[in-house]
Chains A and B, each alone.
Chain A
């Protein structure tokens, strides 16, 4: 667009810029406060209130939270579930998306409808819980993965992406003696790397953030992922319901410790974010196309 050099145009730009800068600040300040707070001592945090760059650096809080096994175990569960879950979800999502992307597949309209229908209507929490229980998945890590293994939304994004790959490529591969699995793995998937990356990251973020399945399906606290531990340490301890914290006798953890746990639970997302960022806008736009 051509630059608007009138006074009112410049004023408009300036006001707009300032407002946006404020919005961006409000978005990141809480997080910077938490990160900075986690790297200082409780005394320093209490004295300085709002810390953006700690005057006194300290790893006190991190030493404390890593002095027990609890957080290692929770991190291990989250990392494991994220890795296994993402691979598994991606694999079966890609298979299904490819099958449904092929226009010569009879019955694809029916399958498509059945998938879309699950986005409009669902059985709800209790019937799903009963199915998971009947399958004997309670207290298993599989309960964190299987019940949400495919996101209908992600599947449709991927299917749309596959549909845009020229059919000629597939046909020539077929003439060269490639079967459908070969076409998918040797031709379609390599051509779809941006879509695969986007959706893998969507899945990974979802698995890393797993919380609801854990509180629904895991009774054994030794199997808690990091998000449930985070809630235990921060959310429950911040309310007045101290009886609800670990055993009621322990005083609520220091602010710095809570902040350190928040950072640990967020870190992996912050690390993938730069990679994510490149792709997700495109991915989200693909998703807005019709199935």
Chain B
């Protein structure tokens, strides 16, 4: 049976408006005690692995020494942050990060939308399913697998792409080590892995469109392309904007793994981004405070971007993310 005993000690405290008395709140809390017990592991997880690291950000205002810890290390104010904007290295990685981000927005972002529109225009459920199954698949492969597959294809010693180039009389290209090929390879891999998966959410919102709209437009003599343009696209406008906001919010967050795997000593000039730099400068070279400052900068920019774009989207009458 449900226990209804009141908690042993009644401490007076300010009453929330919705309860008539504090004892009523206590009763509710006590009645749900098992639910609170259920929250314990999860809450502990978020405190330890999400909120403690946020507290750890204060080492970016210190000269952190591992043996002295956060309490024993010396405070240095904004030293590490001011270093950010004077260091040529940092300005270079910021530029690299922004360029890859720009490619993500300009080249990658529209592709799932177009792909979803194309899939939606497909007649016959079998082929629709079939193509969807195929284009979703790469999303489940890790970046290591994706990068590995592309590496065995473009490598100089026996990669199929270079063999084909040679077959047609072109010079072989060292895709992996030439800085010029880093960005195209990066974005192609992003497209290959994510474009299909990215269609899911668009397809779901297209499925919610009232078929009557299409009927009506056909009566008015609209062709297929016109229907896409005047019915389907406007109907998924909200989803597009929402996803765009999320994308903008992750401006400096391109994902460590993918770039780290493509990075080598020859393409470092164009390939080093904030995340990989934090890893190298922080964990490899032990500049904990400086690289934490970089990470902090990145997180703040991300947060500001999400909040700003969200506000803008609400202003122009869209829903926003939160």
Contacts and interface: CB of A to CB of B under 8 A. Distances in A.
24 contacts: A1-B214, A2-B215, A16-B118, A17-B122, A20-B127, A24-B135, A30-B149, A95-B39, A95-B41, A96-B38, A96-B42, A99-B35, A105-B32, A118-B50, A120-B249, A148-B49, A180-B35, A227-B144, A235-B144, A235-B261, A238-B152, A239-B264, A240-B176, A284-B204
Given A45-B158, A46-B158, A127 B204 contact: no
A45 B283 CA distance: 40
Nearest to B34: A180
Interface string A117-160: 01011111111111100010000000000111110000100000
Nearest to A25: B134
B302 A121 contact: yes
Contacts of B48: 131, 135
A23 B115 contact: yes
A141 B248 CA distance: 35
B45 A126 contact: no
Interface string B213-244: 01100100001110000000000000100000
B144 A265 contact: yes
Interface residues on A, range: 35 or more
Interface stretch (A64-72, A79-87, A189-197, A269-277): A269-277
Contacts of A30: 149-150, 153, 192
The 4 A-B pairs of least Cβ separation, nearest first, read A123-B53, A96-B42, A127-B56, A124-B295
Nearest to B162: A49
A168 interface: no
Nearest to B223: A8
Given A8-B223, A230-B144, A276-B140, 10 more contacts: A6-B223, A13-B122, A16-B118, A121-B299, A123-B50, A125-B291, A127-B55, A209-B142, A252-B157, A281-B200
Interface stretch (B7-15, B86-94, B274-282): B274-282
Contact of A16 (B122, B149, B278): B122
B224 A12 contact: yes
Contacts, number: 294
Interface of A: 1-4, 6, 8-9, 12-13, 16-17, 19-21, 23-24, 26-28, 30-31, 33-34, 37, 45-46, 49-50, 91-93, 95-96, 98-100, 102, 104-106, 111, 114-116, 118, 120-131, 135, 146-150, 155, 174, 177, 179-181, 184, 205, 208-209, 211-212, 216, 227-228, 230-231, 234-235, 238-241, 252, 255, 258-259, 261-262, 265-266, 269, 273, 276-277, 280-281, 284-285, 288, 290
B32 A102 contact: yes
Nearest to A175: B2
B97 to A, nearest CB: 14
Interface in B17-31: 25, 28-29
B264 A241 contact: yes
B322 A116 contact: yes
A106 B150 CA distance: 51
A216 B159 CA distance: 30
A155 B157 CA distance: 46
Contacts of A1: 211, 214
A96 B144 contact: no
A278 to B, nearest CB: 10
Given A127-B57, A130-B288, A285-B200, A13 B121 contact: yes
Considering residues B49, B192, B302, which has the most beta carbons from chain A within 10 angstroms of its beta carbon? B49
B167 interface: yes
B308 interface: no
A212 B256 contact: yes
A118 B46 CA distance: 8
B4 interface: no
A269 B141 contact: yes
A223 B157 CA distance: 30
Interface in B110-150: 115, 118-119, 121-123, 127, 130-131, 133-138, 140-145, 147-150
Given A262-B145, A273-B137, A131 B56 contact: yes
Contacts of B249: 120
B54 interface: yes
B6 interface: no
Considering residues B152, B201, B204, B295, which has the most beta carbons from chain A within 10 angstroms of its beta carbon? B152
A235 B53 contact: no
A116 B306 CA distance: 13
Contacts of B28: 104, 106
